[in-house]
Structure 1
Amino acid sequence: MKRREFVQTASFAAVGLLSLPSFLAAGKSQKGMGLALYAVRESIMKDPKGVLQKVAGFGYKDLETFSYKDGQIFGMNFSDFCNHAKSLGMKVTSGHYGLAQITGDTWLKAVDDAKKNGQEFMVMPYLVEADRKSIDDYKKICAALNAAGEVCNKNGIRFQYHNHAFEFETLDGQIPFDVMLKELDPKKVGIELDLYWIIRGGHDPVKYFNAFPGRFEQWHIKDMSKDDNTKNSNVGDGSIDFKSLFAQAKKAGMKHWYVEYDTFPGDPIESVAASAKYLKTLH
């Protein structure tokens, strides 16, 4: 299933990092190793409990969800899902919510469910093309994100926006991502930075860390194939220098990180297992 199809119904997925010393320690103990469940999107829709058991066995601890809607997720009650994750030694720390979900009673319900289950972050992950045809469109969306973030703040949850590559394509003479960073109130909205997409968009994450320190509190870790930059490889097999990026994570403000895939070099479950195996070597 395509990402946009998930977004239209609710949401979807991601990865991130800590400062290098903390991350390496985490690599040894596996505390906080994160997985965006969008990476196992086909199988988790069919067998959520079975998939959670598998990824727990790989060493993942933090989970980021997608497809939440009206108290349900992956065919389960949201609280039941969160509790099952906890029974396996994992925790839902973040979730993705579509643009249509972040207003009114729908948003109040989602925020309340997140709060009840100890979720720390809520993320708006994607903008369909029709919603981003001009810089003014982006500014209007930023106003909506700020309002959604204010609701989250009142409930002790941090709201964020997740990037792709289109935010780095010049529009009306400006870079939309730069406009968003200026329009978004940092007290209300942070950034979940997808390292693959910012690099594919032709920009250096470290330059943004230096210009906007502390704004990038969650990261999506997905690697880029050395043969085709439109494809993902297993983490550690591709062209992205994660070690150099990890070293900048404290400046970025990193709190959680999640392995994620948009495309797969093989079976998705085997891919998330391979990425976990690589990350365990970083100690």
Structure 2
Amino acid sequence: MSYPIIAAQLYTVRDFTKIPKDIEKTFKKLKEIGYNAVQVSGIGPIEHERLKHMADEAGLKICATHISFDKLEDDFDDVVKQHKLWDCEYVGLGSMPGEYRTNEEGFKNFAHKASEIARRLNDQGLKFVYHNHNFEFTRFGNTTGMDILFNESDPDAFQFEMDTFWVQAGGANPVDWIKKLKGRMEVIHFKDMAVGLDMKPIMSEVGEGNLNWKDIIDACKDIGVKWAPVEQDICKRDPFESLSISLKNLKKMGLSSEVK
């Protein structure tokens, strides 16, 4: 098995996963496109057992999730039950709650609190992964929010799920950060960045933008990243077509969506 394995981040097709019957259709469509694994995020309400059955029927592995911080704090046992039922090792947090983003102390408090939850997940055989945006690269004197998360969190429990687009949007180098996260990142979000004539950054299909994918992929291989869900929050075309384009481009770059 070659790593990282390409997966589809369901947030990309969130408009097509609001009710159970649409989730089922979406799973089948992603399988037809060529994906064999998904990250569950942004879907409508559905029973854990029913979702697992749909994924199995479509032949899709659930490689990771995004869970709200409130649920991690208030319904921890159900989170554990859910992930074990889904045979899903990675419990993802899409972003820190807004109240922690206001200052340096807030970032430190979040890093400490999330580390406590991460250690509890580790005790259950699961792994906590934190997904960044660009606000983590806000500067506080000589440091950034992302540096604070890296330095103040428990390196044995708090893992990252770096997003290539948002690191670039935050003014940092995705390759540098991948290398820095060695030993603390097994899931990464692949998302490309283009630019419009209005000089604003645009989320684009992987390989259709300006990020340095050769160096990004090489760095992921070097540090042992296992999963690379493709995410595109905003698509200029049908999101399924966008996911298809990203997958085709990544296969041309030598990656695979095969799960063994």
Structure 1 position 112, deviation (Å): 1.7
User: In the aligned structure 1, how far is the partner of 2:153 from the partner of 2:189?
Assistant: 20
User: In the aligned structure 1, how far is the partner of 2:36 from the partner of 2:200?
Assistant: 29
User: Counterpart of 1:185?
Assistant: 154
Instruction: Indicate whether 1:59 and 2:34 are aligned.
Output: yes
User: Counterpart of 2:102?
Assistant: 133
User: Counterpart of 2:85?
Assistant: 116
User: Counterpart of 2:67?
Assistant: 97
Instruction: Indicate whether 1:86 and 2:59 are aligned.
Output: no
Give the 3 Å change call, closer, same or farther, for CA 37–149 of structure 1 in structure 2. Answer: same
Counterpart of 1:281 in structure 2: which amino acid? K
TM-score (norm 2): 0.89
User: Counterpart of 1:197?
Assistant: 166
User: Counterpart of 1:77?
Assistant: 47
Give the 3 Å change call, closer, same or farther, for CA 130–278 of structure 1 in structure 2. Answer: same
Per-residue CA shift, 1:97-154, capped at 9, x if unaligned? Answer: 11212214x1221112111221110011113443310111111111111111112111
Give the 3 Å change call, closer, same or farther, for CA 264–203 of structure 1 in structure 2. Answer: same
Instruction: Indicate whether 1:35 and 2:13 are aligned.
Output: no
User: In the aligned structure 2, how far is the partner of 1:278 from the partner of 1:209?
Assistant: 21
Structure 1 position 207, deviation (Å): 2.1
Instruction: Indicate whether 1:263 and 2:238 are aligned.
Output: no
Structure 1 position 233, deviation (Å): 1.2
SS in 2 for 1:181: helix
The number of residues matched between the two structures is 250
Q: Which moved more, 1:209-218 or 1:35-44?
A: 209-218
User: In the aligned structure 2, how far is the partner of 1:128 from the partner of 1:120?
Assistant: 23
Indicate which of 166, 188, 198 corresponds to 2:135: 166
Instruction: Indicate whether 1:44 and 2:14 are aligned.
Output: no
SS in 1 for 2:172: coil
Indicate which of 226, 239, 251 corresponds to 1:280: 251
Residues 194, 219 of structure 1: 8 Å contact kept: yes
Give the 3 Å change call, closer, same or farther, for CA 59–90 of structure 1 in structure 2. Answer: same
**Identity value in percent:** 26
Give the 3 Å change call, closer, same or farther, for CA 137–172 of structure 1 in structure 2. Answer: farther
Structure 1 position 33, deviation (Å): 2.4
Residues 37, 63 of structure 2: 8 Å contact kept: yes
TM-score (norm 1): 0.82
Give the 3 Å change call, closer, same or farther, for CA 196–229 of structure 1 in structure 2. Answer: farther
User: Counterpart of 1:15?
Assistant: none
Residues 96, 110 of structure 2: 8 Å contact kept: no
Residues 7, 35 of structure 2: 8 Å contact kept: yes
Counterpart of 2:209 in structure 1: which amino acid? G
Per-residue CA shift, 1:203-223, capped at 9, x if unaligned? Answer: 112223443422221110111
User: In the aligned structure 1, how far is the partner of 2:141 from the partner of 2:116?
Assistant: 25
Residues 179, 219 of structure 2: 8 Å contact kept: no
SS in 2 for 1:247: helix
SS in 1 for 2:17: helix
User: Counterpart of 2:257?
Assistant: none
SS in 2 for 1:140: helix
Give the 3 Å change call, closer, same or farther, for CA 154–128 of structure 1 in structure 2. Answer: closer
Give the 3 Å change call, closer, same or farther, for CA 119–212 of structure 1 in structure 2. Answer: closer
Note the aligned Cα RMSD (angstroms): 1.9
Instruction: Indicate whether 1:226 and 2:195 are aligned.
Output: yes
Structure 1 position 275, deviation (Å): 1.4
Task: Note the residue ranges of structure 1 that are not aligned, 5 or more in a row.
Answer: 1-17, 27-31, 68-72
Residues 186, 226 of structure 2: 8 Å contact kept: yes
